[in-house]
Amino acid sequence: MLASRRSDRGQAFPIYIMMVAGLLFLALAFFAVGKASATRNGAQGAADAAALAAAQEARDQMGPGFLAALLLPGGLDDFFEGNHFGPGAPCNRAQYFAAENRADVVTGGCQWDSGFKRDEVTVEVKTRYTVGDSVIPGTETRHATAKATAVVEFRCSWKPADKEGKPGNGGDPDKDKEKDKPGPIEFKCDGRDSFKLDPLDLDPWEELAEVFFAVHLVD
């Protein structure tokens, strides 16, 4: 009987070894999956930062053209229908923020789609680091990539403001002694009461930019 028990123990020992080895492999596999997930999250964070940086840089570049358009009749319509910023600098800004997050914008990975009162930039990045060594073959050379899209969106409507003591849009310009002088413009922006802006007495663009243009990520 004693010999039989020793034989059973001897047969069970390899099974225990296989079970422990299997559990260890599963643990290492889960660890590898966690590292891959962390790498993907890092790539997405870099893409988000790069896209937002590009959009904010584009908004900053819009200042001179936007303020100049306020001085011209119909100038804002012309401004939004034209090319109101150069995409080079915003994409350079995207690369800078990608690098700050240990990633790079891939070749051709900063693309703009411009529309009336709305510009979108999509940035694709690739991490400089890999998932690393793991029990899953190939992870030591696997980089993560991710895309993000940010928008620069004009969030106001506008119309010529009525001049004090004079009719507004229906006035006779020939009787207006100041017909050549740009008049104030009334804006109505999301989350704000309407306000008037005098094109000849403007606040710095840094203060106006966030009032007129929203910058945010989109899904």
| 83-115 exposure pattern, b = at least 16 Cβ within 10 A, e = fewer | ebbebeebbebbbebbeebebbbeeebbebebe
Q: How crowded is the C-beta side of 80, counted as CA atoms within 13 Å?
A: 18
Does any domain span residue 189?
Answer: no
Does any domain span residue 170?
Answer: no
Does any domain span residue 165?
Answer: no
CA 94, chain centre distance (Å):
9
Does any domain span residue 163?
Answer: no
3-state SS assignment for residue 100: helix
- Which of 141, 113, 144, 125 has the alpha carbon at shortest distance from 46? 125
> And the tokens for 162?
């009525």
Does any domain span residue 126?
Answer: yes
Dist CA 128 CA 125 (whole Å): 9
pTM > 0.85 = no
Q: How crowded is the C-beta side of 83, counted as CA atoms within 13 Å?
A: 5
Chunked into runs of 10 residues, the chain (219 residues) has average pLDDT values of 52 64 54 66 93 96 93 90 82 96 95 91 93 55 90 94 55 53 89 90 91 93
Tell me what pLDDT residue 56 has. 96
Dist CA 203 CA 183 (whole Å): 16
Does any domain span residue 134?
Answer: yes
Does any domain span residue 201?
Answer: no
Number of structural domains the chain divides into:
1
Dist CA 15 CA 34 (whole Å): 29
**Residue 112: which domain range?**
12-153
Tell me what pLDDT residue 52 has. 97
Does any domain span residue 161?
Answer: no
